[in-house]
Structure 1
Amino acid sequence: MESVPSKEYERWKQEEDAADRMIPLIGHLYRRQNVISTFFGKGLVHKNGLEIIQLQDFVCQHVRKTITSSDTLILLQAIVQHAGYAYSMRIDLGRTFILVEPFVVDYKKNMLVDDAKSHIMRSLAAFLDSKLEAIADSLHLPRSVDDAGLMQKPSDVVLYGFGRIGRLLARLLIEKSGPGVKLMLRAIVVRRGTREDVAKRANLLRLDSVHGPFLGTIKLDEEANAFVANGNLIHIIYSDAPDKCDYEKYGINDAVVIDNTGKWRDEEDLQQHLNAPGVSKVILTAPGKGKIPTVVAGVNDEQIVDGVSIYSAASCTTNAIAPTLLALEEKYGIVRGHIETVHSFTNDQNLIDNYHTKERRGRSAVLNMVITETGAAEAVVKCLPSLKGKLTANAIRVPTPNVSLAILNIELNHDTAQGLTVDEVNAYMCSTSINSPLQNQIDFVNSAEVASSDFVGYRAAGIIDGKATIVQGNKVILYVWYDNEFGYSCQVIRVLQKLKGIVHRRFPDKNQASEIDRLLGLSK
């Protein structure tokens, strides 16, 4: 009676051990070789062992293929120890396993035979390296890590403002620092505060009531009016206006300024940043006014072009709904729709009833649900012009500090959506979250027990709640959760990477991945 649970327990401990052993290898590739490890497109960097197992289990259910942590560990060992062409790329360990499964199976059969095991490992690495070399040659890329210039100076980034979004952007930029990383947070611009200003701002970065403590160390450098976060020297610059900063004085050049204050939103005002010495580009973390291009990563980031210096990264809600709307538009066609957002309170609301220039927002944020307006429908049209005149939107602010919910009530094209079922819609959206260009933007859950706090810290722009999906004829209602702080900040970083031309080559490449997906029955 006890043999079955005992075997299952032993299997679990083996997989847990394998997942734990993957972590330093994933970290080594990321920090030293600028390699992002994924599993069918889902990121593995900065995950703990249990999160790796959980992610692999979810994906394997969808692709209907068993790939264990022990399998992916073997791949990682081969890449780290022997694959010289593994640098500056995204390596999909899940799809790579399909390419090299016979090697992995053979290796596991010979685990106790050292000579055979070593020979198979070298053969596996040689096979992988030949594939990686072919990609490098086809793209005329450097032939080694040293030739790739991974130690070259990264692009300078400045945060103008240090509120909720600013501090999360700082965490993300610091998290990504290392020899192979192409971005470096150099300065934060704020208004002058008290004598303990730098210490207080460092503590706000160190501790967060919603997102938890900063992972790493933060030390003050009072002489430089700066702090050092995980080895990164970050200057605190005081200024009352964008054009009053001389960044070159701090050795900052050709910088991207991310304005997260929301104070300046039109081209004329944001142009002030470009007048400051050391600045070349500006990203606004709010809906822009006038003709400023609106870019949602994964949706229309091809609009980032040479000659344009100012971009808006839209709002958290626009980033949450635009990818899902794009997926529906491409598959079925959208006739019309209404979006209702149930949004956590923000710091522009009042803690207790008090005067506010906007209707209803003067009421206590922690005691009330407050109906208010949202510009999400108009902003979506800026990145998805085909939806012009088709969408309306409203918002309800609720007494929670983070994670919001967008309810998409969409009428689809009758011809393409005829006979559509809940299972078909969910299958399509789940597939899109794993096997599409939108897999960084869309995630999918299918649990009847999840609640808003479960999505704190999600890096996807929006997470579709499959259990809540409703389909009636050609009308679909989708519930999309989103971390309106962290998920949005991840999208801003993706826009920043696109703006600076940071694009990781992929292995397997597009053609190989398509063939693998065809073999697995994933092709749409």
Structure 2
Amino acid sequence: MTQRAPIRVGIMGFGQTGRQIFELASRSDDIEVVAIADIGKPEILHYLLCSEVEQPERHRLEGNFLVNERCRARLMEIDRPAEMPWDIFGVDIVIDSTGKYREREFMASHLQNGAPRVLLRTLPADHIDRIVIPGLNADSVSVDDRMISAGSATTSALALLLSSLGDRFAIECGSMTTIHAFTSDQALQDYAGSDFRRSRSAAKNIIPNTHEASLWLGHILPAFDGKILTSALNVPVQEGCLLDVNLIMRDADVEVEQINEAMRAAAARHPDIIGVVEDPIVSSDVIGNPLSLLFDAKGTIKAGANTVKTLSWYENLGHAARLLDVVRLYHALDQQQEAA
């Protein structure tokens, strides 16, 4: 039997998400990372990768190539999409994991330089072809999609929670606050930036922040369009995030155990994406978890007649895994078209 060629992936941005994507791909049997664009020097990128994986000896630096038993990826010291010649690497898709180039013009640069598709690890800044959340709307994708987003770790967790509960209960409205690990664009010391609060030290403050999930939720879950307010608190932990969601239920008879049972059923339907934890865990316990949503059954509370509060955990590794799920999804569509 002829072995199928691997999916050839390019990565723009070799920060935490880019490194996680590379590590996951290197342990897969169907994805090969062939090129990485990042402004960092190759020896530093290799050093950072090896500092956070379980088996650093698997990854070698050979000149300008990052090599392991699965991938031989060319490292390109490039900062902007318009500078990266994807056509010479024969990529099937590019994952832009920078978090910076969210506008259509930058996504178009990837396409113009030879990428058949570009997949954002973040929410987009303007209209694109599709936002895809595995486990939720994967059946909506089209082979004609070129500019795609996989949402964000927070958006995916929220959408999966709302969909799982919305299938069982009528939800009038709600609010979400993500208690979020600090991010690489925050200053570790007080430093004047474009936002007052985000100019304060990420290492010693809880910093209130906005979150864009509410702006795009209607594109993913039309039934919740305009019904959910979203915000964030960036806190001084490096990894591990908590989703705090308050929902107003139409039916006052909905009880805590019914909510928990609905989430257990959702986890049974999507065991690789959703989980339920019955133990009293904390944020460090979720580090390394590849799920998009880990529902905390002990955190469910009912207040008054109609308000239900839920807690769920997630971390960035789960989002990196879902990005590769989206890559596989579009590759399967392309193969179906070729076979037709």
Shorter chain as denominator, the TM-score bin is: over 0.9
Is the 8 Å Cα contact of residues 368 and 399 (structure 1) preserved in structure 2? yes
Query: 1:342 matched to which residue of 2?
Result: 179
Any runs of at least 4 consecutive aligned residues in structure 1 with deviations exceeding 4 A, and if so which?
A: none
Q: 1:454 to 1:158 in 2, by over 3 A?
A: same
1:498 aligned to which of 317, 329, 333: 329
Query: 2:144 matched to which residue of 1?
Result: 307
1:440 aligned to which of 252, 272, 283: 272
Query: 1:287 matched to which residue of 2?
Result: 123
Query: 1:221 matched to which residue of 2?
Result: 62
- 1:341 to partner: Cα distance: 1.1
Query: 1:424 matched to which residue of 2?
Result: 258
**In structure 2, how many angstroms separate the alpha carbons of the residues matched to 1:359 and 1:214?**
41
Deviations, residues 364-406 of structure 1 (Å, cap 9, x unaligned)? 1111111111112223222111101111111111100011111
1:398 corresponds to 2:235: yes
Q: Identity of aligned pairs, percent?
A: 27
- 1:231 to partner: Cα distance: 4.5
Aligned partner of 1:372: which letter?
N
- 1:301 to partner: Cα distance: 1.9
1:163 corresponds to 2:15: yes
**In structure 2, how many angstroms separate the alpha carbons of the residues matched to 1:354 and 1:339?**
28
Query: 2:199 matched to which residue of 1?
Result: 362
- 1:471 to partner: Cα distance: 2.3
**In structure 1, how many angstroms separate the alpha carbons of the residues matched to 2:165 and 2:70?**
44
Query: 2:74 matched to which residue of 1?
Result: 235
Is the 8 Å Cα contact of residues 359 and 372 (structure 1) preserved in structure 2? no
- 1:152 to partner: Cα distance: 2.4
Query: 1:35 matched to which residue of 2?
Result: none
1:254-273 matches, within 5 Å, as 254-273=91-110
Aligned partner of 2:146: which letter?
S
Query: 1:203 matched to which residue of 2?
Result: 47
- 1:359 to partner: Cα distance: 3.0
Is the 8 Å Cα contact of residues 86 and 110 (structure 2) preserved in structure 1? no
**In structure 1, how many angstroms separate the alpha carbons of the residues matched to 2:314 and 2:55?**
21
Query: 2:296 matched to which residue of 1?
Result: 465
- 1:254 to partner: Cα distance: 4.4
Worse-matched range after superposition: 297-306 or 318-327? 297-306
**In structure 2, how many angstroms separate the alpha carbons of the residues matched to 1:439 and 1:428?**
14
Is the 8 Å Cα contact of residues 37 and 79 (structure 2) preserved in structure 1? no
Is the 8 Å Cα contact of residues 216 and 230 (structure 1) preserved in structure 2? no
Is the 8 Å Cα contact of residues 205 and 214 (structure 1) preserved in structure 2? no
Deviations, residues 473-521 of structure 1 (Å, cap 9, x unaligned)? 33221101111x2111112111111121179xxxxxxxxxxxxxxxxxx
1:44-59 matches, within 5 Å, as none
Query: 2:33 matched to which residue of 1?
Result: 185
Query: 2:155 matched to which residue of 1?
Result: 318
- 1:215 to partner: Cα distance: 5.5
Query: 1:26 matched to which residue of 2?
Result: none
Deviations, residues 94-113 of structure 1 (Å, cap 9, x unaligned)? xxxxxxxxxxxxxxxxxxxx
Aligned partner of 1:262: which letter?
G
Is the 8 Å Cα contact of residues 10 and 94 (structure 2) preserved in structure 1? yes
1:477-492 matches, within 5 Å, as 477-483=309-315, 485-492=316-323
Deviations, residues 65-104 of structure 1 (Å, cap 9, x unaligned)? xxxxxxxxxxxxxxxxxxxxxxxxxxxxxxxxxxxxxxxx
**In structure 2, how many angstroms separate the alpha carbons of the residues matched to 1:303 and 1:215?**
38
Aligned partner of 1:478: which letter?
T
**In structure 2, how many angstroms separate the alpha carbons of the residues matched to 1:411 and 1:336?**
5
TM-score normalised by L of structure 2 = 0.93
- Aligned pair count reads 332
**In structure 2, how many angstroms separate the alpha carbons of the residues matched to 1:466 and 1:231?**
39
Query: 1:61 matched to which residue of 2?
Result: none
Aligned partner of 1:243: which letter?
A
Aligned partner of 1:202: which letter?
H
Unaligned 5+ runs, structure 2? 335-340
Structure number, greater radius of gyration: 1
Is the 8 Å Cα contact of residues 370 and 396 (structure 1) preserved in structure 2? yes
1:453 corresponds to 2:284: yes
The structure in which a higher percent of residues are helix is 1
**In structure 1, how many angstroms separate the alpha carbons of the residues matched to 2:292 and 2:272?**
8
- 1:419 to partner: Cα distance: 2.1
Unaligned 5+ runs, structure 1? 1-145, 504-524
Aligned partner of 1:204: which letter?
L
TM-score normalised by L of structure 1 = 0.61
Is the 8 Å Cα contact of residues 34 and 91 (structure 2) preserved in structure 1? no
**In structure 1, how many angstroms separate the alpha carbons of the residues matched to 2:288 and 2:56?**
13
Alignment RMSD (CA, Å) = 1.8
Query: 1:333 matched to which residue of 2?
Result: 170
**In structure 2, how many angstroms separate the alpha carbons of the residues matched to 1:155 and 1:231?**
12
| SS at structure 1 position matched to 2:322 | helix
